[in-house]
Structure 1
Amino acid sequence: MPSQLWPYITPGIPDDLFERLPGIPLSKREIRLLLISQLRLQPNSLVWDIGAGTGTIPVEIGLLCPKAQIIAVERDDEVASLIRRNCDRFNVKNVEVVEASAPECLPNLPQAPHRVCIEGGRPIKDILKAVWQYLPLQGRVVTTAGNLESLYAISQGLAELHARNIDVVQSSVNRLEQKGNQQIFAAVDPIFILSGEKLD
């Protein structure tokens, strides 16, 4: 049954349709569009989302690929509950929320994910290297970096893992917002999206 809140077959759910908690990160709509395009999903993909936060990526993927299986990993139980509520909000049934810390929890997840999304998290390089062990050939990892340290750690990790078809995209998004009597353009925080494939 399609979502009443978002009855469309395209991603890009407005941020304000998600339930949020103070201080819990939310991947902005435009960033989600870029990130999902880099995942290169197939209809029946098994996707791990490490550090799922508010749950925007699992919800978007769940709606886009109803035959896919998404494992959302989140270490904080309150945030994990938020992900479940957002899945319920959008009537998404193919997301399993795992309350655990990466990389320690990885051996207990369903094996051989086709795609892995790593959103933040520390230590990011250790998580990337651990995830790589479970990725099959032609598997793909997509990560985000909001600061120079994460960008360097991910770049170094992908190089050490001999990832192929590496792609790096930096977002530069401005949104029209109302301020008083005027409409102004407000910048969305720039994010780097890095991706790579396991081919050997």
Structure 2
Amino acid sequence: MRHFFGIRDEEFIRGDVPMTKQEIRMAVMNEARVDEDSVILDVGAGTGSISIEAALGAPKGHVYAIERFDKGIELIQQNMEKFNVSNMTVIKAKAPEGMEDLPELDAVIIGGSAGQLGNIIDEAQRLLKIGGRLVVTAVTMETGSAILKELKGRPFEYHGYQMAINRYRKAGPYHLLDPLSPIFIVSATKVQGEETIG
């Protein structure tokens, strides 16, 4: 049965580890163009919410999830069990470590880089097939700016935008808007040649 992206946040086991929210996950999955046989890498996987969505959307493919913290690894494994996901490999490493022996990829999603964004994109560029997708999210302006700087001069066509989500919250007989932190999303497609088209 086809998976429709956007699992409710409350369904994930998350503890106190930051998690990409439902509406953002839906946008990221769309930007990554996840297909039923896609091979995907999620860098900085956290609770595994992105990885789980990708694995459910690619039942004939495979997802690699890189996470450096033990707490995150445990949560990813718990969520894999909860959502009955078996087409996923969890790698405990600080990227770009852990990316060396991966197969050719259809999509790379970067949600956390721990100061290694340039080196991670180097490896993503090497691993992505022509036409493969790179999707990077950032919650700080500094990281949002760094993404654009890193993509210049690389063989990628890219675009970016900021998402600001406000959810309804009941207040007696009324509804208020409950804002989530704005997030930057930059999406790039690997193309042949050395020139980047922004």
Specify the code of the residue in structure 1 equivalent to 2:146.
A
The one-letter amino acid of 2:187's match is S
Determine the structure 2 residue equivalent to 1:191: 183
Q: CA deviation at 1:180?
A: 6.4
Is 1:129–1:157's contact at 8 Å kept on the other side of the alignment? no
Q: Are 1:156 and 2:152 counterparts?
A: no
> How many Å apart are 1:45 and its aligned residue?
0.9
Which digits, 9 at most, give the CA deviation of each residue in 1:57-103, with x for residues without a partner?
Answer: 11111222211200010011221111010111111111111111101
The CA distance in 2 between the partners of 1:9 and 1:112, in whole Å, is: 24
1:129 and 1:161 in contact (8 A); partners too: no
Tell me by how many angstroms 1:181 deviates: 6.8
Deviations 1:110-129 (A, max 9, x none): 22111100002222232112
SS at match of 2:130: coil
The CA distance in 2 between the partners of 1:9 and 1:116, in whole Å, is: 20
Match of 1:17 in 2: 11
User: Are residues 1:130 and 2:130 paired?
Assistant: no
1:30 alignment partner in structure 2: 23
**Partner in structure 1 of residue 195 of structure 2:** none
Please state whether the residue corresponding to 2:105 is helix, strand or coil.
coil
Query: How many residues are matched?
Result: 191
**What TM-score, normalized by structure 2, do the two folds share?**
0.90
The percentage of counterpart residues that share the same residue type is: 33
Taking structure 1 as the reference length, the TM-score comes to: 0.89
Q: Report matched runs for 1:41-56 at 5 Å.
A: 41-56=34-49
For the residue of structure 2 that corresponds to 1:35, the secondary structure is: helix
Question: Letter of the aligned partner of 1:100 in structure 2?
Answer: A
Q: Deviations over 1:2-47 (max 9, x none)?
A: 7xxxxx731111101111121x110000000100000012221110
CA RMSD across the alignment: 1.6
Matched, 1:115 2:135: no
Displacement after TM superposition at 1:141 (Å) = 0.5
Instruction: Provide structure 1 residue ranges, at least 5 long, that are not aligned to the other structure.
Output: 3-7
| Over 4 Å off, 4+ runs | 179-182
Query: Structure 2: 5+ residue runs without aligned partners?
Result: 193-198
3-state SS of paired residue (1:19): coil
CA 1:75–1:41 in structure 2 vs 1: closer, same or farther (change >3 Å)?
same
